[in-house]
Structure 1
Amino acid sequence: MEAVVSEKGKLRIADGTSKRETLSTAEGTAMFDQMQLQIRRMVGTSVPPDILQQVTDKKTGTEIWLAVVDLFDNNTNATAKVYRIRRLVSELWSMKLLPVCDASLHLCKMFNTCTKLKTLQYDVSDIDMVEMMLESLKSAVRYGADS
């Protein structure tokens, strides 16, 4: 994929070498913004859906590119992979729904973290996922006996 981005002349923008702030003309910044959109489109159509789901929250083509590079590069280093798995599992177990937050968004974040773990070839069993979800909702749910 790096070859395609490089071939299209967008690698310096994608990797963050060229910055929007360094451009002085309105035409230059408009062209830069257009290239950012093209990078987003190229990455979005090139990666599998589970990877795309993990980077859709990024705003610019550069942010998406760097996130995808990070996902693929960190998977090759065994130590980084183990550390990342531990961090994500710990993050998943410690997620809690706050009373003022949207439960659907909270569960989406949990499933997104679970997808990241599956990308790292870590299997979160269904029973563990159910327990994590119930534990995360415990403080926000009002039971009939509480009122």
Structure 2
Amino acid sequence: MSPEKIDLIEAIRADLAERTLPSPVATLAVRVTYDCPAGPTYDDTLTATLLDGTSMEIAFGSAISDELTELADSHPDMRLQDFTITLIEIPAPPTRTYTVTWEMEIDATSPRSAAEKAWAAQRRRGSIANVFTVEAPDGTRVRVDLEEDAETVAA
């Protein structure tokens, strides 16, 4: 990473440390303004995405825009452009293994025949096979109807 990029990130972190924000800042979107008489410049206001998923505008003032300009001047090949600065890597939520079942009563001559009929019913065009029982690793069972937003505790 170039010294200019390091200076920019350190300046941003120092500025953010003095602010009271509802959640830490994960990324900052940097925008270019093209209507400046002296030519394109970076905006003093950056769009921050917080760790809680919300976004907000943060006005940094000239110190950050000076660092942005210095970065652009030291790397003319990158030209002025919009970009995102990642301050905190957001880990993906951990996955868990769930057991998902779909139930229906079927009259059949054998277990295989019943399974084949259930499979055909589930795959039929216009099927309403959209209600599932989902069991979490801790044994909690929930009834999920994909046509509704609510989940209910399964018996």
Regarding TM over 0.5, the answer is: no
TM-score by length of 2: 0.22
Identify which of structures 1 and 2 has the higher relative contact order when contacts are C-alpha pairs closer than 8 Å and 6+ apart: 1
TM-score by length of 1: 0.23
Structure (1/2) with the larger strand percentage: 2
Structure (1/2) with the larger helix percentage: 1
Larger-gyration structure (1/2)? 2
